[in-house]
Structure 1
Amino acid sequence: MTILVTGADGYIGWPAALRIANRTDERVLLVDNFARREWVEEVGAVSATPVASIDERLAAAEETLGITNMSFAELDLTDRDAVDELLQVHEPETIVHAAAQPSAPYSQINGERANYTQHNNMQATRNLLWGLEENDMTDTHVIETTTTGVYGAPEFPIPEGGATMENQGERDDVPFPAMAGSWYHLTKSHDAANLRLANKQFDIPISDVRTAITYGTETEETREDDRLKTRFDFDYYFGTVTHRFCAQAVAGYPVTVYGKGEQRKPFVSLEDAVEGLAQLALGDADDRPDDLTVYNQVTRAISIVEIAETIAEVGSRHELDVDVEHFENPRDEDETHKMEIEYDRYDDLIGGQSQSFEEGVADIFETLTRYSDTIESHEDRFLPGVLSED
């Protein structure tokens, strides 16, 4: 049996691959084209944590964790012929598809980046799905990390997957409408629709894992060796809000809340995100899905102001003097929207949240204070509008 993990050099993909390989004797094949490293360099940013080469990572996994069942293939998933060859040679029974250009702000820079993001993300997923169909591998379980961003920001509680529609006295369950708010998020809305179509037309078993905003620096495996650390982006384009705020605090820079900051968004810790993917990838053969299941990969919803205040409080324990300042919001969003989202199915999958948000922030500070020089030398990347011309 082979488990294929795409985007395996990425923030979630790398620790997920480690978790999966550490819990099984089956072969785990990692696939990536290192594009994330190039995108971050393109905007003049850098990971706060040093990111080892893939060879160093694999060596550390074997030396530190005794993992000998991981291998790596450098491959661009938008190349259909390359994907066909990959599937034909390795015949994976499970695919954890975590490869994507994941930044909404990056996709919004200009038309070139919007086009690139949509082509890159959707072409990769289509190639995998059609590759399975055309190579007679439709029993392969496809687990894709989409995003809770596909739901947009509705005023009603968000279900875990579909919705119930009623018209003229008749009711039916339908896919949740694509209400994404960026060119990136819309790629995942299209992916969700294509996953559903592939399940209906090809009978491919699908787990659509709608990942919330993820925070954290470590998992159980990455703590064991610095060479195993995953990346930590903190710039405006690739740093999520919690990561950017924590990096600002470490650099002595004001925590920049855009607008009122009262909007509440879904979050999940890196540890809990990785655990869910591992549970799905390593489930018993008898438990493998034969349909499409949606998981809201969420453990709680948090307001932006609460994030900033928590970071200020936890930062003080690390002898950091954290100021919270409000700036004009460059994004078109409701600054008071209180998102409600259901996540019972995902909560049951991982057995409940393993780490509170406060503990996660403390964990981030524990790591970032070691790399304060890197953060301080790139503090101009906290705000939008600064791009590399190279």
Structure 2
Amino acid sequence: MSILVTGADGYLGWPTSIRIASRTNERVVLVDNFGRRDWVEEVGAVSATPVADIDTRLDAAEEALGLTNLSFVEGDLTDRAFVNELLQVHEPHTIVHAAAQPSAPYSQINGERANYTQENNMAATRNLVWGLHEHDLSDTHFIETTTTGVYGAPEFPIPEGGATMENGGERDEVPFPAMAGSWYHLSKSHDAANLRLANKQFGIPVSDVRTAIVYGAETDETARDDRLATRFDFDYYFGVVAHRFAAQAVAGYPITVYGRGEQRKPFVALEDAVEGLAQLALGDPDDRPDDVTVYNQVTRAISIVEIGTTIADVAGEFDLGTEVEHFENPREEDETHQMEIENDRYADLIGGQSVSFEDGIRNVLETLVENADTIRAHEDRFLPGVLEDRLADEAN
């Protein structure tokens, strides 16, 4: 028996893998097909922090952290034959499923990427749950990172679980409606529905971890050795808004906020995201859910303009002169939407937020300053067109 972590070469999957391995003597099996590396290269971007190859990472985990219980298997989870062999050989009692094409902007590029995103993400999840059923492993705890993006931007508080519907005087709890705003987010809505069906039909215990926007450059473990660093994307397609704003500050540009920027988005620090997944993976088997348990993996909602002003303030500590500038919003969105999202279950799981947004940004800027040459060499990957147009006008 073992613990299986899919997407283990990724931004969230790698630090989660070594956090879990550092707290157990069980075999932790890492699975990946290195897709994230390929997708980022495809859009002409690069990780700000050098990302070691998997063999170097495993060597560093043993040398720096003393971990001898990690194994790696390369393979594609959309291949049913591979998944069947993986489950037969390793018989996991827990799966942390972090493998997916995770970028909403990438899924919106064209129909080919939209199809790839949905086919890749949903096929991998279906193959895993059907494989568990067909190999008599239906008591395996299935932990999947979906996304808070499945909720969209409703005008009412988002529950941590289902929603209550009333019709004709009768009330019942139903799954939250899929209000996703991208082909990627909708793939995760479909995943959530498929997991509910897998629980109902096969009895697989499911923890649906709805991950917010994750920011941060390192965890306690990855900070121990440069070879253990997780990737840090800062481009438009794979870098989250906080990372892109930080890259603008390091490259000497203003922080670009579209419109008023008062709309709030859910965030969680990398450290707090990793801790929650580790807690679920290593929990008492007697406490694992019988049904589907939803966790809103978020520690706070932050407005876009507050993200920008916080980064600008912290940037001053690094002698980076930048400030927030507002530009006309090319998107159709509510610039004042005040998201409210419940997170009591997740907060209890991790014991409360451990990293403040300011401290997380401080660590991000520290990391990016050390890799400033890489940031500047790829500034065309994160500067919005509206800023490029203004700079061109000023130069003429």
Alpha-carbon displacement from aligned partner over 1:217-259 (angstroms, at most 9, x marks no partner): 0101001000000000000010000011111111112211122
Alpha-carbon displacement from aligned partner over 1:195-221 (angstroms, at most 9, x marks no partner): 111001100000000000000001010
Stretches of structure 1 lacking an aligned partner (at least 5 in a row): 386-390
What residue number does 1:338 align with? 338
What residue number does 2:188 align with? 188
Distance in 1, Cα, partners of 2:56 & 2:68: 14
Offset of residue 377 of structure 1: 0.3
Distance in 2, Cα, partners of 1:134 & 1:384: 48
Specify the SS of the correspondent of 1:31.
strand
Distance in 2, Cα, partners of 1:357 & 1:381: 24
Alpha-carbon displacement from aligned partner over 1:142-197 (angstroms, at most 9, x marks no partner): 00000000000000000001100001110000000000000000000000000111
Q: Assess if the C-alpha contact under 8 Å between 1:237 and 1:384 holds in 2.
A: no
Quick one: which amino acid aligns to residue 114 of structure 2? A
Q: Assess if the C-alpha contact under 8 Å between 1:146 and 1:211 holds in 2.
A: yes
Specify the SS of the correspondent of 1:93.
strand
Distance in 2, Cα, partners of 1:379 & 1:191: 35
Offset of residue 33 of structure 1: 0.3
Quick one: which amino acid aligns to residue 117 of structure 2? T
Specify the SS of the correspondent of 1:166.
strand
Distance in 2, Cα, partners of 1:290 & 1:238: 35
Quick one: which amino acid aligns to residue 251 of structure 2? A
What residue number does 1:51 align with? 51
Distance in 1, Cα, partners of 2:44 & 2:257: 22
Specify the SS of the correspondent of 1:161.
coil
Distance in 1, Cα, partners of 2:332 & 2:42: 25
Specify the SS of the correspondent of 2:371.
helix
Offset of residue 333 of structure 1: 2.0
Distance in 2, Cα, partners of 1:260 & 1:68: 51
TM alignment of 1:1-390, pairs within 5 A: 1-383=1-383
Alpha-carbon displacement from aligned partner over 1:281-304 (angstroms, at most 9, x marks no partner): 000122122211000000000000
Quick one: which amino acid aligns to residue 294 of structure 2? V
Cα RMSD (Å) of the superposition? 0.9
Q: Assess if the C-alpha contact under 8 Å between 2:248 and 2:383 holds in 1.
A: no
Task: Give the stretch that moved more between structures: 123-132 or 317-326.
Answer: 317-326
What residue number does 1:388 align with? none
Alpha-carbon displacement from aligned partner over 1:325-374 (angstroms, at most 9, x marks no partner): 22333433211111000000000000000010001000111111100000
Distance in 1, Cα, partners of 2:208 & 2:330: 31
Distance in 1, Cα, partners of 2:378 & 2:31: 30
Distance in 1, Cα, partners of 2:384 & 2:117: 19
Quick one: which amino acid aligns to residue 272 of structure 1? D
Normalising by structure 2, we get a TM-score of: 0.96
Normalising by structure 1, we get a TM-score of: 0.97
Alpha-carbon displacement from aligned partner over 1:68-124 (angstroms, at most 9, x marks no partner): 000100010011111011101111000000000000000001101000100010000
Specify the SS of the correspondent of 2:92.
coil
Specify the SS of the correspondent of 1:117.
helix
Stretches of structure 2 lacking an aligned partner (at least 5 in a row): 386-396
Alpha-carbon displacement from aligned partner over 1:12-48 (angstroms, at most 9, x marks no partner): 0000001000000000000000010010000000000
Offset of residue 262 of structure 1: 0.9
Distance in 2, Cα, partners of 1:330 & 1:210: 28
Distance in 1, Cα, partners of 2:4 & 2:182: 29
Offset of residue 384 of structure 1: 5.9
Q: Assess if the C-alpha contact under 8 Å between 1:106 and 1:237 holds in 2.
A: yes
Q: Assess if the C-alpha contact under 8 Å between 1:150 and 1:179 holds in 2.
A: yes
Specify the SS of the correspondent of 1:326.
strand
Quick one: which amino acid aligns to residue 313 of structure 2? E
What residue number does 2:393 align with? none
Distance in 2, Cα, partners of 1:253 & 1:86: 47
Specify the SS of the correspondent of 1:41.
helix
Specify the SS of the correspondent of 2:348.
helix
Q: Percent identity?
A: 80
